[in-house]
Amino acid sequence: MRVAAIDCGTNSIRLLIADVEGAGDSVPDEAEQPVGTDTGERSAVAQMHRSRLTDVVRQMTVVRLGEGVDETGEFSAGALERTFAAVDSYAALIRRHKVEAVRFVATSATRDVKNRAAFVEGVRDRLGVEPEVIRGSEEAGLSFVGASSLLDWDPDRTVLVVDLGGGSTEFVLGTSRGMEHAISTDMGCVRFTERHMRTDPPQETETSMASFETLSFLEDVGQVMPLDETDVIIGVAGTVTTVTAHALNLEDYDPDLIHGAEVGLDRIHQSVDQLVHSTRDQRAQMPFMHPGRVDVIGAGALIWGTILDYVNKVTKGRVTTTLTSEHDILDGIALSIATGAARETAHQD
C-alpha cells in the first residue's frame, strides 16, 4: 500500500510517501480498541512494529507555523502563507506518486490557537483530507513506533523515546511489547527561544531560566512515568539530529550517518555547550546546519542536554549514551495509515 504521511509541527512540515508491507499480516482483537485506551494503544503499537516501510519521498520544509503563537495565541498570516505553500508542493508530489491514502497530522502549535479553523480549511482545500490535531498521547505513541524501529529489540530493555519538537516534547517509555507510559510537555526549541533566549548569544540569565523551566517539566514527567527504569534513550526530530551531527563532526548533514548513531553523553554535552553559546552567524556557518534551525537550535540543544543529564541522574549513571533516530512520528503516521486500512479490511471480512 502506498501512503503519504504529513507531520505539521511548530517549526517544520514534513512529508513521507512510502510503500508499507506487513500491516495486514495479523490484526489482533485488541486492535479494535480505540487508540486512546491502554489496550488499544499498546496493541496498535505492536501491530505497527510488524510492518515495514520503504521510502519513496521524504521531504522537510521549515515554515515556522508556531511563530509568535506562544505570545499571541494565533497563527500569523505569514506563517499560514508559508505552510499552505508547502502543502501545495506536497499535494503535487502525492498526485505524481499515485498515493492511495493520506494522513495529515498537526501537533503542538495547532492544538489551542484561536484561528485554527483557517488552518484546517486551508489544508482541506489543498489536500482533500481533514488535518487531525492529535492528542499528545497519540503523538507520543506514533513517535515511539517510528523511533524504536531502529532497534534490534531486547525484550528485557526499557526504552525512553524523546521527541523534541518546536512547541512540545513527548516522552514515551516502553518495551518490545509497546509503549507503557507517555506524556507531552509544552517545551520546545521555538517556544523556549521566544520565551527565554532572545539575545545573541544568549546571556547566562536566559540560559539559566530555560534550564530551570526544563527541569521543572522533567520533575512533572517523573511523576507520571518511572524514568529511573530507562535502559536506552532514543532522541528524534531536528534538534536531536542536529546536535548529533555536531557531535559526529560531520562536514554535511548525512542522515545515513546520523540514524542509529550512539554517542556518549560527554560528547553530546560538548556539542550542546558550543551550540548554546555560539552566535547566530557562527551557527549559520556550521556545514550540517539547516537554515531554518539556526535561530532555534540553541534553545533546543539546551533542552536536550538537560534531559540527558536528568535521565543519567535518575538512573544512577546507568544511561551513559544516547541513540539518534531519523525515523520518528512521520514514520509512525505512515504505518498507522496502513494499520488502519488493515483493521477495516478485517472488520469487513
User: What does the pLDDT look like over 222-255, one tens digit per residue?
Assistant: 999 999 999 999 999 899 999 999 999 999 999 9
pLDDT at 50: 55
pLDDT at 144: 87
Cis peptide before 201 (omega within 30 of 0): yes
pLDDT at 7: 93
| Burial class of 268 by CB neighbour count within 10 A (0 to 12, 13 to 18, 19+) | buried
Neighbouring-strand partners of residue 262 = 323
pLDDT at 322: 96
Judge whether 19 and 51 are in contact, CB under 8 Å. no
pLDDT at 21: 82
Mean pLDDT for 10-26 is 79
Judge whether 186 and 167 are in contact, CB under 8 Å. yes
What are the structural domains, with CATH classification, of the chain? 2-136+330-348 (3.30.420.40), 150-326 (3.30.420.150)
pLDDT band for 139, please (50, 70, 90 cuts). Answer: confident
Give all strands of the β-sheet with 169-175 in edge-to-edge order.
178-185, 169-175, 159-164, 232-236, 321-325, 262-264
Grid coordinates belonging to 266: 560527554
Mean pLDDT for 45-61 is 75
pLDDT at 340: 65
Listed residue (282, 281, 305, 279) closest to 215, CA to CA: 305
pLDDT band for 203, please (50, 70, 90 cuts). Answer: very high
User: What does the pLDDT look like over 93-129, one tens digit per residue?
Assistant: 999 999 999 999 987 667 778 888 899 999 999 999 9
